[in-house]
Amino acid sequence: MVMTGERHYTKTHPWITFSFRADRLRPETWVLLGEAASKCEHLAGSALPPEVARELSLLSLERGAHGTTSIEGNSLTEKEVRAIIEGADDTPPSRAYQRQEIENLISLFNDIAEECVSGAPPPLSPERLKEQHARLMVGQPQKEDLDPGRFRTHSVVVGRYRGAPSEDCDYLVDRLCEWMNRELDSLGAADHSMRQPQAVVLAVLAHLYMTWIHPFSDGNGRIARLLEFELLLRTGVPVPAAHLLSNHYNRTRDMYYVVLERTSRAKGYPVEEFVHYAVQGLVDGLREQIRTVQSAQLTIMWQSYVHERFHGQHTVARTRMRDLVLALPPDRWTPVGEVAVLTPELAQAYGGKTSKTVTRDVNALVQMGLVDKQAYRGLRPRTELMAAFIPPRAE
* 392 phi/psi in degrees, rounded to 5: -75, 155
Domains of the chain: 17-294 (1.10.3290.10), 311-389 (1.10.10.10)
Rounded to an integer, the average pLDDT of 347-351 is: 93
| Residue 3 pLDDT | 47
Instruction: Kindly tell me if the per-residue pLDDT of 4 is higher than 90.
Output: no
Residues near 41 by beta carbon (within 8 Å), at least 6 away in sequence: 196
| Residue 119 pLDDT | 84
| Residue 393 pLDDT | 74
Rounded to an integer, the average pLDDT of 102-128 is: 96
Report pTM: 0.90
Q: How far apart are CA 113 and CA 103, in angstroms?
A: 15
Instruction: Kindly tell me if the per-residue pLDDT of 1 is higher than 70.
Output: no
By the 8 A CB rule, do 248 and 284 touch? Answer: yes
By the 8 A CB rule, do 233 and 116 touch? Answer: yes
Q: Which of 134-138, 283-287, 290-294 has the lowest mean pLDDT?
A: 290-294
Q: How far apart are CA 71 and CA 247, in angstroms?
A: 9
